[in-house]
Amino acid sequence: MRLLLVEDERPLAAALGRGLREEGHQVDLCENGADALAQARALPYDVILLDWGLPDLDGLSVLRAWRREGLQTPVIMLTARGAVAEKVAGFDAGADDYLPKPFAFEELLARLGALARRGGGGATGLRAQVGDLVLHVPRRSLARGDAEVTLTAREFDLAGALFARPGDVVTRSELLGRVWGPDFDGEPNVVDVYVGYLRKKIARLAPEGAVLETVRGLGWRLRAER
Ligand code: CA
């Protein structure tokens, strides 16, 4: 699994990182909340291990920010604080699990395994493909080969609507209804804005066989060939 470890206690971070890598996981480390926010936006992770007490933002604020942005990656909170009220706050903020320090490494591995099974991600997860562009449903990401970008909740829903009908023109009103819901009463060109975001992420992957094109006056079409 690709893991993000957010922990400011260096000896603990080093020991956990080493142990997890020995288990075959790929581990990235952040030592503060600001770096963690940026890192999880930049790369898709299977599970995030998040310390509660960080030097800048506390882990709970970081978790809240991720969930507000639609990041659905499972998060295990690590903390020395064992109080019930704080545990509840962690779950309310969107934590999937909670591990009080100190914990046995085997316990962490067991929790990771349980979350991975529940998430159903990786090769066994749902995916849609247009050309060489792959939409990973459990990971909420777009990928081409080994390159992968995470999508926000809106971008993911938009991509889902386009991947569901490759080659077809999907209209603005269809996308509004499907992604923003029938009660949406804002500006309809919000669709154009999000198509722009999605197109930028697709461009980052530089797909050879897939293109998201504008069909003037009608809508957008995700095609398998240029
Ligand atoms: Ca800490």
Q: How do residues 158-175 score in pLDDT, each as one tens digit? A: 998 898 788 889 999 889
- Are 105 and 135 part of one and the same domain? no
- Are 109 and 160 part of one and the same domain? no
Centre of ligand 1 from the C-alpha of residue 56, in Å: 10
- Are 145 and 204 part of one and the same domain? yes
Centre of ligand 1 from the C-alpha of residue 8, in Å: 5
pLDDT number for residue 84: 67
Centre of ligand 1 from the C-alpha of residue 126, in Å: 36
pLDDT number for residue 177: 85
Q: Among 95, 118, 141, which residue terminates a domain?
A: 118
Centre of ligand 1 from the C-alpha of residue 9, in Å: 6
pLDDT number for residue 185: 85
| Alpha carbon distances (Å) from 60 to 53, 81, 93, 181, 198 | 9, 13, 7, 30, 29
Indicate the helix (H) or strand (E) that contains 16. Answer: helix 10-22
What domain count does the chain have? Answer: 2
Centre of ligand 1 from the C-alpha of residue 1, in Å: 23
Which tens digits make up the pLDDT trace of 33-55?
999 999 998 888 889 999 999 99
pLDDT number for residue 221: 94
pLDDT number for residue 132: 85
CATH (domain of 144): 1.10.10.10
User: DSSP string of 89-110?
Assistant: HHHHTT-SEEEESS--HHHHHH
- The residues of the chain scoring below 50 in pLDDT are 120-125
Centre of ligand 1 from the C-alpha of residue 12, in Å: 9
Residue 41's domain comprises 2-118
Q: Among 87, 118, 149, which residue terminates a domain?
A: 118
- Are 194 and 87 part of one and the same domain? no
- Are 14 and 107 part of one and the same domain? yes
Query: pTM of the predicted model, to two decimals?
Result: 0.55
CATH (domain of 100): 3.40.50.2300
Chain length of the chain? 226
